[in-house]
Amino acid sequence: MAAASIRLFNTMTMQKETLVPAVPGKLGVYVCGPTVYSYIHIGNARTFTSFDVVVRYLRYRGFDVKYVRNYTDVDDKIIKAAQETGEQPVELAARFVKLFQEDARALHLREPDVSPKVSDHLAEIISIIQKLVEKGVAYESQGDVYFSVRRYPEYAKLSKRNLDDLCAGERVQPGEQKHEPLDFALWKAAKPGEPAWDSPWGKGRPGWHIECSAMSARYLGETFDIHGGALDLIFPHHENEIAQSEAASGKTFARYWMHCGFLDLEGAKMSKSLGNVVRLRDALEKVDAEALRFFFLSTHYRHPLGFTDKGLADAEQRMEYFYETLRKVDERVGGKDFGKGALHGEPGKFLTEFESQMDDDFNTAGALGALSGLFALMNELTDKPPVKDKALVGRTLQALREDVRKVSAVLGLFEDEPAQWLLRRRDRAVKERGIDVARVEQLLQARADARKAKNFAEADRVRDELKGLGVEIMDTAGGTVWKVAAPSA
């Protein structure tokens, strides 16, 4: 597929722009990854899922993408967490890198092309700091090195903040050796018990912001196409990245900036200070991973998303509907040859609409809306076909099923075998509702025996008894299957 025309919202210009790669057909994408001092929370998960889909779609549209997402494994938070657990900071960080990778796989996040760690890139970090010192936009102060914000006239061009107002709201904190309140640390002098590396300014460790400048330049060059992250990184992290990178290189840092909106927990913006952070690992014990992905993607990535129990339950029910539809279609047409020929209606219009929505700033909410029409048509063709030509219906269902596979590669949804997903969903619901599976199976056999004996009144009575237990049954081409009915509103 040839590279398509995609419009994205550029935070730098605050408007939608046509994505034009610096090198035709190729794209460099950098996303700020996790600081590995604890488990990631669902706000992190939403951001990483959003950019996972962005990269998937760019590749689907024919772009050759190099995707870089870093690990911050040198940081104040890591040092503090290690002091609390009694581990060495490097050991704690390595442990949480592995745990993050487990969580990422569970959420169907594809591994980036490069996942660099700060601790492996000290040479690159020190090299940039040296350039900044030589150019007079950074200064050494008692073993620390600071970036002089006043020496970079374009500071705050991403966040659109007023420099004087920012200065008025800042203070030099105890222990800091900087000249002005807004100056930020590029290098921190070593303290007892903290990890440290040799540098021209003595032993120490890098500040937070410099790491992304060094690692993005190492793998994508001094100028690259797309830089992404969460909305709360615009200031100061991304602002500081721009300042130090462009002051060092004299070039534009990132050509397009993308930011993912906040996730609200029952109406409150999720933040550690509010104490209402939900870990992804905990959430996945209560809701299916694909249902959580669907929940994230059901709202445009730039918009705030309310995290509620009802929202998750609705997402899981919607995924159940999708997988039940796919099971019916696979039972009807899987592996069969219906020959070549015409298709019923315009089945290709749903994929076209899906692509149109995704081309418009990766509008996953609109894309999922297009899928609703596709699944509705599949249900119609399997349950009440509007035409009698079985070959025509079969070809159309197979074409629609293939389009679902294409969409699946972009959204990271519908990746499982329908029967397996539905069984996992049922097992979780059975456990939550305390349903006696042995009793259900006994009643299903009784109903089958009654139907075989043509005692349909008894079969209906058993169905009602199952319904009273919270069980819904479906007679399919592959036999009778059952699921836990949705709770009454």
User: Which residues pair with residue 23 across a beta bridge?
Assistant: 26
**Contacting residues for 216 by C-beta, under 8 A, at least 6 apart:** 30, 68, 224, 227, 245, 253, 254
471 near 435, Cβ under 8 Å?
A: yes
**Contacting residues for 436 by C-beta, under 8 A, at least 6 apart:** 469
Residue 152 to residue 172: CA distance in whole angstroms:
19
415 annotated ligand-binding residue: no
69 near 40, Cβ under 8 Å?
A: no
238 annotated ligand-binding residue: no
What DSSP character marks residue 233?
G
Residue 311 to residue 183: CA distance in whole angstroms:
43
- Half-sphere exposure of residue 263: CA atoms within 13 angstroms, side-chain side: 28
391 near 338, Cβ under 8 Å?
A: yes
344 annotated ligand-binding residue: no
32 annotated ligand-binding residue: yes
Tokens of 260: 């993912």
Please give the angle made by the CA atoms of 40, 43 and 48, to the nearest 5 degrees.
Answer: 75
167 annotated ligand-binding residue: no
Alpha-carbon distances of 71 from 75, 117, 120, 228, rounded to whole Å = 11, 5, 10, 14
Q: What is the number of other CB atoms lying within 10 angstroms of the CB of residue 206?
A: 27
Q: What is the number of other CB atoms lying within 10 angstroms of the CB of residue 112?
A: 23
Peptide bond into 236 cis (omega under 30): yes
Tokens of 284: 């996945």
**Contacting residues for 24 by C-beta, under 8 A, at least 6 apart:** 3
What DSSP character marks residue 295?
H
Annotated binding site for Zn(2+): 32, 212, 237, 241
Annotated binding site for ATP: 272
Annotated binding site: 32, 212, 237, 241, 272
